Amino acid sequence: MRYEERFRKYLSGELGKEEAEQIREDLEKMQVLLGHLDDSLDQELYEEEGDEERKDEQGKGARSRDLKRQDLSKEVSKAVSRKFRRYAAVTGAVVIVVVLLLLYGLSPLLDKVCYNPSENIEIVDEETQSAVIYSPFQLTMSVYMELFCGDKGFADVGIRPEGYGRYTIDVQTQINGEITHHPLELVRNHLYRQDLNWNRSDFPDNAFTYRQQGGSCAMKAEDARKKLEDIPEAMMIRAAISFDDTKNLEELIEFMGKYDAYYLYCPLMVDDDGHSGGYWGFCPKQAGYVLTDCYDQEKYPYLDVFQYEDYDNAPAEVYEKHVMSMLNYMMDHEKFLGIFDSDVPGENVVNKVKYQSALHYIEENGVNSYGTVVYATKQELLKMLEDETVSGVYMLDSSLDLKY
C-alpha cells in the first residue's frame, strides 16, 4: 500500500493500530526536524553577526563609536535579510508539504464533517473471499423514497462530486420504463432543490377517500366506471384505488391476488387521523433494491423484500417486518434525514419524533392500508371498481399499451 493511501486511511480512522502508530511517529519526526531547522537558523544568525562584528573590530579599530554603530546596524540588517531569506525557503518547503496534506488529507477530513453521498463501502465474504462494493447513500435513498413516494417508481440515484463537500445528485424515478430526473445539489450539508416535489408522491394529498376531512378529489367507483367506458381498450392507467375501510396485510394481499396489475404503492395509517401532509407507505410488489448484502439482516429484517426467497409471494409477516425495518433504518440515519427530510429546509432540522410516532402507531395497531396505487389496464381497473370494498379512484395518467 502506497504511503499516500495509508495516510488517507489514517485521516479517516480506517488504518490499523500499528500502521496508525507509524504515521504518528512520522508526524512527530517532521515536527522535530522543523523545530531543529528553526533553531539552527537562529544559531547561525547569531554566529554570523558575531563573526562580522569581530572582523570589523580587527580591520577598522580606529573608527569612531558612531561609525561602528552604523556598520553594526548595516550588518544586522544584512543578517536579518539572510534570516528572512532562509525562513522564506523553509516556509516554501512547509507550504508544499501543507498543500500535499490538503490535497490528500482535506477530502477525508471534510467527509467526516460534510455528508458524502458518493462514499462506497466494500463488504468481503470471508467464506467465498468475494467482495461487494455498495453505496450506503443508494440504500438509504431507496428506503426513503419507498416510504414517502413509492408511486413514483424509484429507480436509481446518480452522484457527481463537484469539489470538497459539493455534489450534484440526480434522483431517478421510473414508471413504465419512462425515467424522470429530479436534480438536487448538496453543498456542505446544505440541500438545494430544483424540484421542490422530488420527495413527495405524484398524487395529491386528498387522492384517497378514507377519512378525508376536507373532501377527496377521487371519483366514486360508479362514476369512474362510466368514465372508463370511453377510454380506448389499449390503455394502461396509473390510479389511486381507495378502500371503503382499512385493510390489514392479509386482506391487502388477498385483494392484490384477485387482480392482474402492477401494485406500485400502498399508503399506510400512521396515526388516527389518516394521512396528512403527504403519504407513508411501502411498495408491495417491488422486486427489491437487490442490496440484501448491504445491511444488517438481523437488525433490519426484510429491509429489502428480496431477502425473502419467494419474494413474489411474500406473506404478511414479511411485509410487516419490511415496514418496521424501514422506519428503524431511517431513524438510525439522522444525518441523512437532517439534510433530505428537514422540517426547515436549509437548517437541517431532524424531526425524529414523527418517525418514532409512526413506528409506535404501527406497533400498536399493525400495518393497515386505506388504498393502493396501481398501474393497470382499463379492463383490470374496471374489475377493481366492481369490488365492494373499493370506494373510489383517482386517475393520474395513462399511456398506450403496445403489448395489447
Over residues 179-234, the pLDDT tens digits come to 999 999 999 899 998 888 999 999 998 999 987 766 788 999 899 998 898 888 88
Handedness of CA 189, 294, 315, 288 (dihedral sign): positive
Per-residue pLDDT, averaged over 353-369, amounts to 94
Residue 1 above 60 pLDDT?
yes
pLDDT band at 103 (very low <50, low <70, confident <90, very high): very low
pLDDT digits 0-9 by tens, 116-143 = 999 888 877 677 777 778 889 999 999 9
Return d(Cα 305, Cα 228) in angstroms, integer. 34
Return d(Cα 375, Cα 396) in angstroms, integer. 10
Which of residues 156 and 211 earns the better pLDDT score? 156
Residue corresponding to grid cell 409477516? 317
Residue 273 has what pLDDT? 73
Which of residues 229 and 88 earns the better pLDDT score? 229
Residue 309 above 70 pLDDT?
yes
Q: Which strand ranges, in their side-by-side order, compose the sheet holding 190-193?
A: 154-163, 166-175, 178-187, 190-193
Share of the chain above pLDDT 90, in %: 44
Residue corresponding to grid cell 433530505? 340
Residue 362 above 70 pLDDT?
yes
Residue 333 has what pLDDT? 94
pLDDT digits 0-9 by tens, 252-292 = 999 999 999 999 999 999 988 765 568 999 998 765 566 77
Task: Identify whether the C-beta of residue 268 lies closer than 8 Å to the C-beta of residue 369.
Answer: yes
Q: How many CB atoms lie within 10 A of CB 273?
A: 9
pLDDT band at 62 (very low <50, low <70, confident <90, very high): very low
Roughly how many angstroms between the first and final C-alpha of the chain, as a whole number?
Answer: 59
Residue 67 has what pLDDT? 52
- Beta bridge partner(s), residue 154: 173
pLDDT digits 0-9 by tens, 318-347 = 999 999 999 999 999 999 999 999 887 667
Alpha-helical (H) ranges within 294-377 are: 316-331, 334-340, 352-365
Residue 53 above 70 pLDDT?
no
Q: Tell me the three cell numbers of residue 97.
A: 508539504
Residue 239 above 90 pLDDT?
yes
Statement: the pTM of the whole predicted model exceeds 0.85: no
Task: Identify whether the C-beta of residue 385 lies closer than 8 Å to the C-beta of residue 217.
Answer: no
Residue 309 buriedness (CB in 10 A; 0-12 / 13-18 / 19+): exposed
Per-residue pLDDT, averaged over 34-50, amounts to 60
Residue 82 has what pLDDT? 61
